[in-house]
Amino acid sequence: MWDYTDKVMDHFKHPRNVGTIPNADGTGQVGSLVCGDALRLTIKVNKETDVIEDAKFETFGCASAIASSSILTEMIKGKTIAEASKITNQDIANALGSLPAEKMHCSVMGMEALEAAVQSYRQGGKPVIFEQEAEKIVCKCFNVSEEAIIKAIRTNHLTTVEDVTHFTKAGGACGQCKGEIQKILDKVNGACEVPQPATKTYEQMTLVEKIKAIESVLEEDIRPKLNMDGGSVELVDLSGNIVKVRLIGMCSGCAGAQGTLKNFIEKVLQDRLFKGLTVEQA
Amino acid sequence: MTKVIYLDNNATTQCVPAVVEAMLPYFAQKYGNASSMHNFGGENRHVIDQARHTVAQFINAQYDDEIIFTSCASESDDTAIFSAVRANRNKKHIITSAVEHPAVLEPFRYLQTQGYRVDYIGVDELGRFDMDQFKAVLDEDTALVSVMWANSETGTIFPIADIAKLAHEKGVLFHTDAVQAVGKIPVDVQAAGVDMLSLSAHKFHGPKGIGVLYVKRGTRFLPYLMGGHQEKHRRAGTENVPYIVGIAKAAELAQKRLADGTMDKVAALRDQLEQGILKSIPDVKVNGDPAHRVPNTTNISFGYIEGESILMYLNDFGICASSGSACTSGSLEPSHVLRAMKVPFQFAHGSIRFSLSDQTTQADIDLVLKELPPIIKRLREISPFSRMA
């Protein structure tokens, strides 16, 4: 059972402004039957003053989706288009008191429908379906773009993959994109908030740090390439500047193994870590 | 508080007063350890023996010592699965169905990460087990087949005896999670030919916190909880005497209900509810196999609206049910069972499970049939998809 605020329950049980405005000046739509929630928002705008005179919604979804839609219509009525455009999902959630973390995506849906409706108004009233600007879709199950994830992280100060899922749904089904979401989180949060400690050069590292550094280069830059040919590589030992590895899978019997070792693995390790490294077959 | 109309008996049932009463003396008065060398504790040994006998009879186990008491059916499932693979280390293939409870699915997924080949047998639109797919993947390398007796969400009953027989023809162990079958339909481990079976007391008016793993004599078994001689070294932990007494009492009462026609009355009320809904509300769909279903369960999808919203309106009338909708679970996808059945999305999000019990009354059903249609109508008025209906 969710801990819904009284305000959520009020707007769920007594939704305001249900329906569709005939000949609306703006129609925004987001979500689908597949996703499990959807919202259609229609607005009536005074063309002289740009003030939203009426707003109506229709929503398919849970209590918090219905409540978010209902309160959104109340929030935008009487505002100018410019004022309404500033409303964020956090504003919608605040207006409802709060929403359970797992339900924040309902408030995001409200914000997206509003964006679409405003765009529709500016384009002369033709209905607009909110779409993630599709340069890069991260979550294929729910069709969530990198941009939408970055926006959710920034607006709501998200720090974990779970948070991102609660707010955008990304990663909530098959989970395959969770690694990628983590990278986006690292990128957004790392860039602006967490100062990275000054990195040591390879030669300054302890033995354990050296081994970890080598392992991470193997994992990020080397194994993916070898995997494409059905092979892989294991770190066996590190003695002085000699890195001992074992080629496995298709690489182990490959005629080009020595070439792979020297021209590829050794070169990458030298480039990434330290010129003095040599790689040998264990 | 509003009177509770409890139609969520597949989630849990009331621990009935007769069971509570039977358990009570074993908390504060007869609290001795059944393994102790004094009469005060030792007498509880006989109490446990008697309870074990009652439970063995309930599922027609041949020997009392085939009954191992556990803390819940999830523990029983995990124990059975890990025992089977550890006792068959040379075999690297395991089979289950796509619609199991997470207590079975999660261990299977874990074993998949440990290098096991796993086949999840699919179901058709009625939720029926795909026997052809099963036959095609079953082989001598299979260590275990674990398939549920009845589905928790739709109530669909699988042909357990047939599946067990096929497994045995290939020398493969067979386990069944019978949590949703026991107490609702006759469960006979010998007739079905199962090697291991899990059940849970709180699904048939017993207490939460106790389950059983049936292990047929002669089945190679390795314990999951180690560190004690209890249950013949098969499940460590001081015997939970009050709960063991509780499950036995609940089993005794359930056996009576199966024999005296009570469950037929439950089925009649369930059918009345289902037919009533189908008649009074358009765009609804029953999920499951009406011809092979436990008597207390109906799973109905209401097109173009979302399950959580329906539940919250029902809640106002004290009506308790559950939904396979994404929003009720905190996950974002609708139930894995409905998706395995390929229920279309416009129906999957709006599915409601009503699960009755012998305590359900005619008045309960009448109330649901009275209050539900306006709720559905109201939600459809809000939905942008209702015009599609």
Query: Which CATH architecture group holds A202-281?
Result: 2-Layer Sandwich (3.30)
B173-177 and B142-146 strand pairing: parallel
Q: Does A11 reach chain B within 8 Å, measured CB to CB?
A: no
Spell A81-96 as b/e; 16+ CB within 10 A means b: beebeebbbbbbbebb
d(CA A126, CA A129): 10
Q: How many CB pairs under 8 A join A and B?
A: 69
* Superfamily for domain range A137-192: BFD-like [2Fe-2S]-binding domain (1.10.10.1100)
The 3-class secondary structure across chain B, one letter per residue, is CCCCEECECCCCCCCCHHHHHHHCHHHHCCCCCCCCCCHHHHHHHHHHHHHHHHHHHHCCCCCHHHEEEECCHHHHHHHHHHHHHHCCCCCCEEEEECCCCHHHHHHHHHHHHCCCEEEEECECCCCCECHHHHHHHCCCCEEEEECCCECCCCCEECCHHHHHHHHHHCCCEEEEECCCCECCECCCHHHHCCCEEEEEHHHCCCCCCCEEEEECCCCCCCCCCCCCCHHHHCCCCCCCHHHHHHHHHHHHHHHHHHHCCHHHHHHHHHHHHHHHHHHHCCCEEEECCCCCECCCEEEEEECCCCHHHHHHHHHHCCEECEECCHHHHCCCCCCHHHHHCCCCHHHHCCEEEEECCCCCCHHHHHHHHHHHHHHHHHHHHHCCCHHHC
Fold of B261-388: Aspartate Aminotransferase, domain 1 (3.90.1150)
Task: Give catalytic residues of B, as residue numbers.
Answer: 327
Query: Do B251 and B211 form a contact (C-beta atoms < 8 A)?
Result: no
Mutation to test the B interface, candidates A60, A71, A164, most B Cβ within 10 Å: A60
CB contact (8 A) between residue B325 and residue A102: no
Sheet with strand B284-287: strands edge to edge: B284-287, B297-302, B351-355, B322-323
- The domain locations on chain A are 6-129, 137-192, 202-281
Angle CA B14–B16–B22, to nearest 5: 140
CB contact (8 A) between residue A38 and residue B384: yes
Q: Which residue of B has its CA nearest to A66?
A: B382
What are the chain A neighbours of B345 within 8 Å (beta carbons)? 33-34, 36
CB contact (8 A) between residue B382 and residue A18: yes
What are the chain A neighbours of B382 within 8 Å (beta carbons)? 15, 18, 58-60, 66
Q: Tens-of-pLDDT digits for all 389 residues of chain B?
A: 579 999 999 999 999 999 999 999 999 999 999 989 999 999 999 999 999 999 999 999 999 999 999 999 999 999 999 999 999 999 999 999 999 999 999 999 999 999 999 999 999 999 999 999 999 999 999 999 999 999 999 999 999 999 999 999 999 999 999 999 999 999 999 999 999 999 999 999 999 999 999 999 999 999 999 988 899 999 999 999 999 999 999 999 999 999 999 999 999 999 999 999 999 999 999 999 999 999 999 999 999 999 999 999 999 999 999 998 766 655 667 789 998 999 988 888 999 999 999 999 999 999 999 999 999 999 999 998 876 54
Q: Does A142 reach chain B within 8 Å, measured CB to CB?
A: yes
CA B64 to chain centre: 22
Residues of chain B with CATH 3.90.1150.10: 261-388
The pTM of the full predicted model, rounded to 2 decimals, is: 0.79
Residues 6+ apart with CB under 8 A from B16: B205, B250, B253
Residues comprising chain B, all counted: 389
CB contact (8 A) between residue B304 and residue A33: yes
Residues 6+ apart with CB under 8 A from A127: A27, A28, A29, A120
Q: Does A40 reach chain B within 8 Å, measured CB to CB?
A: yes
What are the chain A neighbours of B307 within 8 Å (beta carbons)? 62
Please give the pLDDT value at position B247.
Answer: 98
CB contact (8 A) between residue A36 and residue B384: no
The closest alpha carbon to A222, from A272, A281, A276, belongs to A272
CB contact (8 A) between residue B306 and residue A102: no
Tokens of A115: 């964006």
Residues of chain B with CATH 3.40.640.10: 17-258
CB contact (8 A) between residue A38 and residue B385: yes
ipTM of the complex: 0.85
CATH for the stretch A6-129: 3.90.1010.10
Strand partners of residue B285: B301
Please give the pLDDT value at position A146.
Answer: 84
Q: What CATH number matches the domain at B17-258, 3.40.50.620, 3.40.50.720, 3.40.640.10, 1.10.1040.10? A: 3.40.640.10
Q: Tens-of-pLDDT digits for all 282 residues of chain A?
A: 788 999 999 999 999 999 999 999 999 999 877 777 899 999 999 999 999 999 999 999 999 999 999 999 999 999 999 999 999 999 999 999 999 988 888 899 999 999 999 999 999 988 888 875 555 788 888 888 888 888 888 888 888 898 898 888 888 888 888 888 988 888 777 654 434 445 678 888 888 888 988 988 888 888 878 777 777 888 999 988 999 988 887 766 666 777 778 888 888 898 888 888 999 888
Please give the pLDDT value at position A197.
Answer: 46
Query: Do A117 and A127 form a contact (C-beta atoms < 8 A)?
Result: no
Q: Does A129 reach chain B within 8 Å, measured CB to CB?
A: no
Q: Does A169 reach chain B within 8 Å, measured CB to CB?
A: yes
Please give the pLDDT value at position A192.
Answer: 43
Mutation to test the A interface, candidates B301, B314, B327, B379, most A Cβ within 10 Å: B327
Query: Do A149 and A184 form a contact (C-beta atoms < 8 A)?
Result: yes
d(CA B275, CA B26): 45
